[in-house]
A and B are shown apart, each in its own frame.
Chain A
């Protein structure tokens, strides 16, 4: 018996239309208060009353729209549909990102991307993507499941070094790169957005734990919270 079997990948289905799915605008109406996963931490008050200078600045970019887009790169109708709606190509190169204004896309896996946009635009963008894409694709609104933190300042990198086994040296982590990796025994999608700026996409259920972790990790450098 031959020990090694290596089944080939089935060909992408190109022509089939996107299956009809029940869509729901996840944003509550204006009279319902939306709460970020760090609502209880009251970062606005911490920002007002806390120190104004320090080595690390932390800001939550809360209540943004997060869409996970999945599809096969061999499916031309998928890539073309994404380009038509986003206005730029999905970053198919591993560990890269693309953005235009408030709309940004991160490579997560060869068939998975994370799109982040202003919260109120998520439902409309999802609908437009569904209309434009064809074939075997999936779009899931995960806005309620995660939040975005930005670490910046001269000591932001030092905090990352304490928190992740990933090599954050310039040589390995240039501006624009995005990696999903271990962060403080949890997981984060880390994108370098500037020389001293790092974006962390973290899970809702870990947000409080990571907020506590970051306060502790930043203490030696001086933590400034920005609203």
Chain B
């Protein structure tokens, strides 16, 4: 079980209160009517599945019902940090 810090409530809560919503920082094509099928398909379906650091979108579903981002290690399951939507992660994979 995760014990997750909600940046909106300002305290840790049980994983039971949250839902994972997949990869964070997805860029929606700015002009969907005029983008290519490839671009739209990339946006809709193509997701990373990294071994190691992963930025994910989560929602505090039974709490404040707000979304936030989490950086998590998919190997150790360690939560590196949580941060609000609109903020940038400080823990990023070395490129």
Contact = CB atoms under 8 A, between A and B. Distances in A.
B63 A180 contact: yes
Contacts, number: 56
Classify chain B's interface size. Answer: 20 to 34
A108 interface: yes
A180 B86 CA distance: 24
Contact of B86 (A8, A108, A109): A8
A95 B9 contact: yes
A110 B17 contact: no
B66 A109 contact: yes
Interface in A1-54: 3-9
B12 to A, nearest CB: 9
A4 B88 contact: yes
A165 B16 contact: yes
Contact of B25 (A3, A108, A112, A182): A3
Nearest to A185: B16
Contacts of B14: 165-166, 182
Interface residues of A, number: 20
Contacts of B88: 4, 6
A187 interface: yes
B65 to A, nearest CB: 6
Contact of B62 (A5, A9, A180): A180
Given A8-B86, A182-B16, A187 B11 contact: no
Most chain A CB inside 10 Å of its own CB: which residue of B8, B16, B62, B92: B62
B62 A94 contact: no
Contacts of B66: 109-110
A115 B49 CA distance: 43
B27 interface: yes
Contacts of B85: 6
Contact of A181 (B10, B17, B27, B87): B17
A109 B8 CA distance: 7
B8 A94 contact: yes
Nearest to B69: A6
Contacts of A9: 86
Contacts of A109: 8, 64-66
Given A3-B25, A5-B27, A95-B9, 17 more contacts: A3-B55, A4-B25, A94-B8, A94-B9, A94-B10, A95-B10, A108-B64, A109-B64, A110-B8, A112-B65, A165-B14, A166-B14, A179-B9, A180-B63, A180-B65, A181-B17, A181-B63
- Identify the 10 closest CB pairs spanning chains A and B, nearest first: A109-B64, A165-B14, A94-B10, A187-B62, A6-B88, A5-B27, A4-B25, A5-B25, A182-B62, A180-B63
Interface of A: 3-9, 94-95, 108-110, 112, 165-166, 179-182, 187
